[in-house]
A and B are shown apart, each in its own frame.
Chain A
């Protein structure tokens, strides 16, 4: 029994890494643009299909393929922001962006459905099936690699935000948009690039999700509700919070699954409610949204 619990904790932490890859972009976009990108779930699935294409058609390794898919998703993100979100201003902006990003989700889902149909796909590679036995735990290679990738990407985003001139302009825009404009920051460019980065990260999340789950064009909906729960729990706009909340939620779910897989999903959202009652701003959220 104890061994089962330990294994569940290890699994939860590793799967949490996969969710962090998907949630980090969502919270980054919220932190800077102050919008919830409902399309993030289906963008994860789009990322998975892009990886699928590269892997099936030109037999490119899943991780190497990320060089292509991350770049492609960055461009897609910038285009979505430029075409749909940039125009929304004024008091209705928050509710309008929810509708617009939902529309974007429907469009992408429709296109994917048209191309691939409803049958589920899964990404494959030698390391997807195999696992290593360490200290009595079975660690699947794909989750190990994915967890390392998640940590690397979180560190990279931190470096971008805290070590570069562009990062300073992003943090300034996050904290006070008018003041940022008044010191000469092009806040439209900051918004476009941030949205691009937030979507680019989901390419990695999509690959990991697609390698560890069967997916079809509808899979984005279950994902977005989970991702929203995670970023709220972590503290909206907090990148470190998204990582911690992913690991926390998935570990909890993995533990409850030992007893009851049905209850695991309920516990996922129940945990959100309980934490928010105790800490209304989530783990790392403070009154104003900040990048921590």
Chain B
């Protein structure tokens, strides 16, 4: 067992004094039927920041999030949220502890209205008054969404659906928000809106663990960066450190990606 979060030393590769970690993953091994995708992954998510995980396809970024949110049961290792081990809990139990995931593929209930979708974000609250209060707060944060409340979720554009997914995730006032490639399939122009929304959610105090294919834009947005490769952590540090690491820049960030 590792020491409880908050008293730990700085992680390897970390720079200077670290804020308290919300999430501490230690030697995590996990995979689907065909074998291990994650091979002893260790990383920390500092409180109040945005931690961005980048890496090539198949590095295990999405698998990492699936293991944290309970969709995938890890084989070995620990995933501690504020010192409590999440490994092996069901998605529902993980939600109750305050970890909410927005998956990579569009996950709105297409035949339901935007309002119904957002209310369903508070499904485990099972309290109408609380659900209504939270929904009102979410509509305050994203005023655009209030205008779509009566529309079928399936009729929204890709970018709009992303924002509604964020809003739905905020219904539980998450301790940790997991975002799996929010830029997936979006036009560059809309990308900015989506990243602005990520920044905005972070500004209201939500700690975010972000997985991003668009590495440059993701890291620029983030306080911390983690580079994964073939199921292992290759490097971690502040967002800027990772962005400016020449080796990593050449390997994963791709010189061709324009400054956004």
**A184 engages B110 (CB within 8 Å):** no
Q: Which residues of B contact A168 (CB under 8 A)?
A: 116, 120, 123
Give, as a whole number of angstroms, the nearest-CB distance from B126 to chain A.
7
Binary B-proximity of A168-185 (CB < 8 A = 1, otherwise 0): 110110011011011111
Residue on A with the closest CB to B171?
A183
Complex-state Cα separation, A182 to B107, whole angstroms = 9
B110 touches A288 (CB 8 A): yes
Instruction: Check B107–A178 contact: CB distance below 8 A.
Output: yes
Count of interface residues, chain A, beta-carbon cutoff 8 Å: 19
Contact in complex: A175, B71 (CB < 8 Å): no
Complex contact A182–B71 (CB within 8 A) = yes
Tier of interface size on chain B: 20 to 34
**B81 → A minimal CB distance (Å):** 16
Please name the residue on chain A nearest to B33 by beta carbon.
A90
Q: A175-B109, A178-B71 are in contact. Are A184 and B91 (CB under 8 A)?
A: yes
Query: A186 at interface (Cβ–Cβ under 8 A)?
Result: yes
User: Cβ of A184: which chain B residues have Cβ within 8 Å of it?
Assistant: 91-92, 95-96, 123-124
Q: Is the CB of B101 within 8 A of A182?
A: yes
Flag if A171 contacts B103 (CB, 8 Å): no
Q: Does B69 reach chain A (CB closer than 8 Å)?
A: yes
**For the complex, what is the distance from the CA of A184 to the CA of B171, rounded to whole Å?**
12
The answer, yes or no, to whether A121 is at the interface (CB within 8 Å) is no
Q: Indicate if A165 sits at the interface (CB-CB under 8 A).
A: yes
Contacts of A181 in B (CB 8 A): 71, 91-92
Most buried by A among B33, B69, B103, B126: B103
Contact assessment for A183 and B121 in the assembled complex, using a CB-CB cutoff below 8 Å: yes
- With a cutoff of 8 Å between Cβ atoms, the chain A residues found around residue B101 in the complex are 182
Q: Is B112 on the interface with A (CB-CB < 8 A)?
A: yes
**Contact in complex: A182, B120 (CB < 8 Å):** no
Taken together as a complex, chains A and B put the C-alpha atoms of A90 and B34 apart, in Å, by 13
Chain A's nearest CB lies how many Å from the CB of B176?
14
List, in ascending order, chain B residues with CB within 8 A of A185's CB: 92, 123
Q: Which of A175, A178, A186 contacts B111 (CB 8 A)?
A: A175
Contact B91 A179 (CB under 8 A): no
Residues of chain B with a CB closer than 8 A to A291's CB: 111
- Contact at B103–A179, with CB atoms within 8 Å? yes
A226 at the interface (CB under 8 A from B): no
Is residue B168 contacting chain A, with contact meaning CB distance below 8 A? yes
Residues of A within 8 Å of B91, CB to CB, are 181-182, 184
Number of A-B residue pairs with CB-CB distance less than 8 Å in the complex they form? 60
Evaluate contact between A175 and B112: CB separation under 8 angstroms.
yes
Neighbouring B residues of A288 by C-beta, 8 Å: 110
Asked whether A183 lies within 8 Å of B168 as measured between CB atoms, the reply is: yes
Q: Is B108 an interface residue (CB 8 A)?
A: yes
| B111 with A182: CB separation less than 8 A | no
A95 CB, min distance to chain B CBs, angstroms = 18
Contacts of B96 in A (CB 8 A): 184
Cβ contacts under 8 Å, A183 to chain B: 95, 120-121, 123-124, 168
Mark each residue of chain A from 74 to 114: 1 if its CB lies under 8 Å from any CB of chain B, else 0: 00000000000000001000000000000000000000000
| Chain A residues near B69 (CB-CB < 8 A) | 182
CA distance A172 to B96 in the complex (A): 19
Determine the chain B residues whose CB is within 8 A of the CB of A171 once the complex forms: 109, 111-112
Given contacts A172-B120, A184-B124, is CB(A290)–CB(B111) below 8 Å? yes
Q: Report B-chain residues with C-beta under 8 Å of the C-beta of A169.
A: 123
Residue of A nearest to B125 (CB): A184
Contacts of A290 in B (CB 8 A): 111
**Smallest beta-carbon distance A5→chain B, Å:** 39
Q: B126: which A residues are within 8 A, CB to CB?
A: 165
Q: How far is the CA of A141 from the CA of B101 in the complex (A)?
A: 55
Q: How far is the CA of A47 from the CA of B33 in the complex (A)?
A: 41
Q: Tell me the smallest distance from the CB of A223 to a CB of chain B, in Å.
A: 31
Chain B residue nearest in CB terms to A185: B123
Chain A min CB distance to B70 (Å)? 8
Contact B110 A175 (CB under 8 A): yes
Residues of chain A contacted by B116 (CB below 8 angstroms): 168
B108 touches A179 (CB 8 A): yes
Tell me the bound Cα distance from A181 to B72 in angstroms: 12
- Chain B residues with CB under 8 Å of A182's CB are 69, 71, 91, 95, 100-101, 103, 107
CB neighbours (8 Å) of B168 from chain A are 183
Tell me which residues across on chain B come within 8 A of A176, comparing CB atoms: 107-110
* 10 tightest Cβ-Cβ pairs between the two chains A and B: A179-B107, A184-B124, A184-B92, A184-B95, A175-B109, A181-B91, A183-B123, A172-B109, A184-B123, A290-B111
Given A182-B71, A186-B92, A290-B111; 5 other pairs, CB 8 A cutoff: A168-B123, A169-B123, A172-B123, A178-B103, A184-B91
Can you spell out 10 A-B residue pairs with CB atoms less than 8 angstroms apart? A165-B126, A175-B112, A179-B108, A179-B109, A182-B100, A183-B124, A184-B95, A184-B123, A184-B124, A185-B123
